């Protein structure tokens, strides 16, 4: 695995709370990486990966959290990208950066594919693999059907799972 792909995957894991293996399981790592790189340009992508490595090189805990807060979350350049990356993983949609961000931070012209500030779903797989449904123990409407009559069953996640085990 190339260094930038590993960095993208580990940063995505850090931001979403899902393991790299879970994110790989969506089949979207390469698609999302290409999308981010296209949307923000080479210079900002290089800055993002370099800064992410400085965070990811720290051991988990306070030092890593502090480095994340200082180097990424406080950055007017990087934090909007990371916010959009979280939304991309959890909701399966990307909001292109604002025209002000492109002008003052990225110092590149916005990509011509999507107007600045507009939201789009990059692929059908983005919709079906969004993490918000996985976090809720559910499926996106119209995708991955659970079968006839399953709406009448108790949920099998969270507190309900413990309750259902006790009843059996």
Residue 54 near residue 72, CB atoms below 8 Å = no
Q: Could you give the CA distance from residue 134 to residue 70 in angstroms, rounded to a whole number?
A: 30
| Other residues' Cβ atoms within 10 Å of the Cβ of residue 102 | 21
**What was the pLDDT predicted at 167?**
47
pLDDT tens digits along 2-43: 999 999 999 999 999 999 999 999 999 999 999 999 999 999
Q: Which of the residues in the chain have pLDDT under 70?
A: 112, 144-147, 155-168
**What was the pLDDT predicted at 22?**
95
**What was the pLDDT predicted at 157?**
61
For all residues of the chain together, what is the average pLDDT? 87
Q: Could you give the CA distance from residue 145 to residue 4 in angstroms, rounded to a whole number?
A: 36
Alpha-carbon dihedral angle through residues 77, 81, 82, 88, given to the nearest 10 degrees: 170
**What was the pLDDT predicted at 112?**
64
**What was the pLDDT predicted at 146?**
66
């Amino acid at each position: 695995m190339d260094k930038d792909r590993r960095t993208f995957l580990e940063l995505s894991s850090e931001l979403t709370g899902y393991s790299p293996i879970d994110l790989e399981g969506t089949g979207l790592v390469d698609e999302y990486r290409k999308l981010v790189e296209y949307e923000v340009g080479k210079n900002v992508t290089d800055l993002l990966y370099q800064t992410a490595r400085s965070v990811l090189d720290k051991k988990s805990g306070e030092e890593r959290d502090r480095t994340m807060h200082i180097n990424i979350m406080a950055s007017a350049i990087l934090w909007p990208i990371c916010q959009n990356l979280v939304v991309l993983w959890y909701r399966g949609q990307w909001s292109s950066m604002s025209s002000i961000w492109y002008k003052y931070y990225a110092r590149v012209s916005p990509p011509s594919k999507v107007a600045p500030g507009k939201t789009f779903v990059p692929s059908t797989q983005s919709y079906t693999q969004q993490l918000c449904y996985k976090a809720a123990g559910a499926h996106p409407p119209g995708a991955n059907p659970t079968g006839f009559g399953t709406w009448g069953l108790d949920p099998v996640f969270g507190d309900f799972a413990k309750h259902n085990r006790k009843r059996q």
